[in-house]
Amino acid sequence: MTADPLLAELAKALDSPREALWLLDELGDVAPGARREQALALARRRRDGEPLQYLLGHWPFRTIDLLVDGRALIPRPETELLVDLALDVLSFAPGSAVVCDLGCGTGAIALSVAVEERARGTVVDVLATDVSRGALALATRNAERVGAMSVTFLEGSWYDALPAALEGAITVLCSNPPYVAPGERPRLARELDFEPVIALVAADGTDGTPGFAAVETIIEGAPRWLAPGGTLLVEHGADQRAAALACAERVGLVARRDHDDLAGIPRILEARRPR
Ligand SMILES: C[S@@+](CC[C@H](N)C(=O)[O-])C[C@H]1O[C@@H](n2cnc3c(N)ncnc32)[C@H](O)[C@@H]1O
């Protein structure tokens, strides 16, 4: 497959030529004498289940490349759709739009919106929150990395992180909260053991829907924080569509739609506060 013996050795150790290429590329600056040892150490960690993204230390999300480590969830491709939906809504929003990303992790959603809106020549006010200090520290570094220093980061549990002045003022409220039920976790891929539990697992909803509590909290709070006509976009688990739509209806949100992700799996609730 290749003339580079180290690449061949790594590909065999990982049983993946593609991952071997990525890891070796990451070691491009390492002195030749230390390269083999470091490459094989990474291969061992990979074989022990550590996600490739954490080993590389960065990962692309839409147009940006984000630092990733064990303090935050690795941004998933399905969340890219949530950003598309946010940008669609913003393209029809009047000036001075406010976007809020609750539970920002690496900052994937908030930073993408800030960077892509700027590229369109539009300035939006973007806020990003998380209850995890580690995640916020990582997101702040990512803001520097992608040149989105205008994004404001706030610490606190869901809406508690927001200043009262934002009540009734948010144009687009985005969130990809944890939505895995505690009982489901042991059945998940081994790689997920390396991601923070707080980023993955949520209690059951009040209606008994497994893992729905955080999604429910976000939907329930949306009418208070959204501007009239403002949009909520919240990612949820594959089996949570009915609960999400019912919850949105119960709290008086309108124009409720639920989007499938690219794999055809129910994934994102879109709902509006009435004008
Ligand atoms: C599924 S991860 C999503 C991270 C990021 N938004 C993304 O899409 O990659 C959920 C995030 O919610 C945060 N989180 C969990 N409980 C929270 C709470 N009570 N208040 C605010 N954020 C919370 C976690 O720390 C984590 O960063």
**Locus of tokens 């491709």:** 77
Q: Whose CA is nearest to atom 26 of ligand 1?
A: 199
Percent of the chain with pLDDT over 70: 99
Q: Which amino acid is at 58?
A: H
Question: What residue's CA is closest to ligand 1, atom 9?
Answer: 75
State the distance from the centre of ligand 1 to the C-alpha of 87, rounded, in angstroms: 21
- Does residue 178 register a pLDDT over 90? yes
- The Cα 114–Cα 135 span in angstroms is 18
SS3 state at 192: helix
Residue 26: enclosing H or E segment and its boundaries? helix 17-26
Which residue from 148, 154, 169, 150 is spatially nearest to 224, judged by alpha carbons? 169
Q: Give residue 20 CA to ligand 1 midpoint distance, Å.
A: 31
**The pLDDT of residue 212 is above 90:** yes
CA 118 to chain centre: 20
Arithmetic mean of pLDDT, 22-47 = 88
How far apart are the CA of 144 and the centre of ligand 1, in A? 20
CA of 45 to the centre of ligand 1 (A): 25
Q: In angstroms, what is the span from residue 172 Cα to ligand 1's centroid?
A: 17
**For range 69-92, the mean pLDDT:** 97
**Residue 188 pLDDT:** 84
How many CB atoms within 10 Å of residue 33? 7
Tokens, residue 147: 């040149």
Confidence class for position 31, pLDDT limits 50, 70, 90: confident
The response to whether residue 199 sits with its C-beta less than 6 Å from ligand 1 reads yes
Where are any strands of DSSP class E within 15-111? 58-61, 64-67, 98-102
- Residue 123 has what pLDDT? 86
Q: Give the number of the atom of ligand 1 that is nearest the alpha carbon of residue 177.
A: 10
Residue with CA at minimum distance from ligand 1 atom 13: 103
Q: Is the CB of 53 under 6 A from ligand 1?
A: no
- Per-residue confidence (pLDDT) for residue 189, from 0 to 100: 85
**Which tokens is 227 given?**
């501007």
Strand partners, 232: 173, 271
Q: Which distant-in-sequence residues (6+ apart) come within 8 Å of 244 by Cβ? A: 212, 215, 219, 234, 236, 258, 269
Confidence of residue 186 (pLDDT cuts 50, 70, 90): confident
DSSP percent split of the chain into helix, strand, coil, nearest 5: 45, 20, 35
CB 184: neighbour CB atoms within 10 A?
Answer: 15
* Alpha carbons 107 and 89: distance in angstroms, whole number: 20
Look at residue 78 and tell me whether its pLDDT is greater than 60. Answer: yes
Look up tokens 């729905």; give the residue. 212
